[in-house]
Chain A
């Protein structure tokens, strides 16, 4: 089955700790994206990568970091510098040709106390 997996589904951390969210895809898509969603709001773009070993900041990149060492994987690290890290995080991928239809993972809910 092709798709995007995110783990874990729920994540709890203490304030001041860095935490890494996993995102894996087996769709052979070139581009991958990380979004943040807060209650009652739309999605905001954190980082995106259009090719391995390259990534760009989105609209709210401060306090986050990413890597793209493999085509299938795009982990997101929420650092202690992120002021309000509690949110729902969604990963997505996209074929960079033809339809440009974006596919989403199931999301990770991060709670920092």
Chain B
């Protein structure tokens, strides 16, 4: 059974800091890994999707890496802003199960 773990559970940083969110998964048989953002009471917004054959993806200040062999992904946020405050979720789409498995999320607070 696929299990996804995110560390830390919560993170509070001052504006301008670079930060790293971590995600680990137990079964490396995946099609892809997605990072999502969720604002309170809202649905999920896809930030980055990394295919299993890729090592990283970048979008603006965000960079996500994938090391499938070790079952790890990181989301790097450069020059954080208060508007980045949200819950960040990672999820893997497994070849064995045909579905997404989510981590518990990291609650990020960026204070001015």
Which residues of A come within 8 Å of B, CB atoms? 6, 33, 35, 40-45, 48, 50, 58, 88, 90, 92, 99-107, 109
Contacts and interface: CB of A to CB of B under 8 A. Distances in A.
Q: Which 8 pairs of residues, A with B, have the shortest CB-CB distance?
A: A42-B102, A104-B44, A106-B43, A42-B104, A43-B102, A100-B31, A107-B43, A104-B43
Interface of B: 4, 31-32, 34, 36, 41-46, 49, 51, 89, 91, 93, 98-100, 102-105
A41 B104 contact: yes
B46 A33 contact: no
Contacts of A43: 89, 91, 100, 102
Contacts of B32: 99-101
Nearest to A108: B43
Contacts of A99: 32, 49, 51
A32 to B, nearest CB: 11
A40 B87 CA distance: 9
- Chain A contact surface mostly: strand
Contacts, number: 57
Contact of B93 (A88, A90, A100): A100
B36 to A, nearest CB: 8
15 contacts: A6-B43, A41-B104, A41-B105, A43-B100, A45-B99, A50-B98, A58-B99, A90-B44, A92-B44, A99-B32, A99-B49, A101-B46, A101-B49, A104-B45, A104-B46
A107 B42 contact: yes
Contacts of A109: 41
